[in-house]
Chains A and B, each alone.
Chain A
Amino acid sequence: DVKVTQSSRYLVKRTGEKVFLECVQDMDHENMFWYRQDPGLGLRLIYFSYDVKMKEKGDIPEGYSVSREKKERFSLILESASTNQTSMYLCASSSPGTGKNTEAFFGQGTRLTVV
């Protein structure tokens, strides 16, 4: 069974803290994604990685960075957490190319609250 695992379901952090959100996939997928989900705004892409050490900014990269040192692991880093980064964070992975069997698989999400 395919699996994308996010390290925490719920996190509470203080303003100004450096926060790491970890994601691991076991499907040997090249592509990995970080999204955030907010009411009325849907899923917005923060960062995308198409290979180890490769990354591209998504629609809302400000205040975030990412790390992909190994194929199976993609980390999202909040350099200095702020209250407007309180959100549900979703990691996903997919195979490259468009077409059959290239849909993205999601983790269960991390609900981050910054106080």
Chain B
Amino acid sequence: DQQVKQNSPSLSVQEGRISILNCDYTNSMFDYFLWYKKYPAEGPTFLISISSIKDKNEDGRFTVFLNKSAKHLSLHIVPSQPGDSAVYFCAASERRDDKIIFGKGTRLHILP
């Protein structure tokens, strides 16, 4: 049973516009959420995270929003740039252990 769900396998966005990637989770014990970016033939790299005590975290062009009641988080990238084309993974962990559970990923294409 998938605990972290990314229901959009791919997303295409015009360069300069906002990219919004969505993620849902089922485990109410998750208290820390992360986004990773992955290029082909490379390992994922950490992008941004948010604790469950917050509802927003911002880092430059990247903002993550958390809606605990809906068990939903989203990653906003604005403005989108060509180098943002990659696979984005949503991930979560819970306090009782440090296992990090990933979603299936969303492939983002930034169109010129």
Chain A residues packing against B (C-beta within 8 Å): 4, 31, 33, 35, 40-45, 48, 50, 56, 58-59, 90, 92, 94, 96-100, 102-109, 111
A99 to B98, CA, bound (A): 11
B98 touches A105 (CB 8 A): no
B51 touches A42 (CB 8 A): no
Q: Which 3 A-B pairs have the closest CB atoms?
A: A106-B43, A42-B104, A98-B32
Interface residues on chain B, number (Cβ under 8 Å): 28
In the complex, whether B59 has a CB less than 8 A from a CB of chain A is no
Q: Which residues of B contact A103 (CB under 8 A)?
A: 34, 46, 49
Partner of A58, one of B6, B9, B99, B105: B99
Q: Which residues of B contact A108 (CB under 8 A)?
A: 41-43
Task: Report the nearest B residue to A88, measured CB to CB.
Answer: B41
A41 to B98, CA, bound (A): 21
Q: Which residues of A contact B104 (CB under 8 A)?
A: 40-42
A48 touches B99 (CB 8 A): yes
A44 to B41, CA, bound (A): 17
Task: Report the nearest A residue to B5, measured CB to CB.
Answer: A42
B98 touches A50 (CB 8 A): yes
Interface flags for B84-112 (1: CB within 8 Å of A; 0: not) read 00000101011101111111110000000
With A41-B104, A99-B32, A102-B32 in contact, do A94 and B44 touch (Cβ < 8 Å)? no
A44 to B32, CA, bound (A): 18
A45 to B98, CA, bound (A): 12
Q: How far is the CB of B54 from chain A (nearest CB, A)?
A: 11
With A50-B98, A103-B46 in contact, do A42 and B103 touch (Cβ < 8 Å)? yes
A42 to B32, CA, bound (A): 19
B95 touches A56 (CB 8 A): no
B99 touches A45 (CB 8 A): yes
Among B6-26, those with CB < 8 Å from A are 6, 9
Tell which of B9, B49, B102 has the most Cβ of chain A within 10 Å: B102
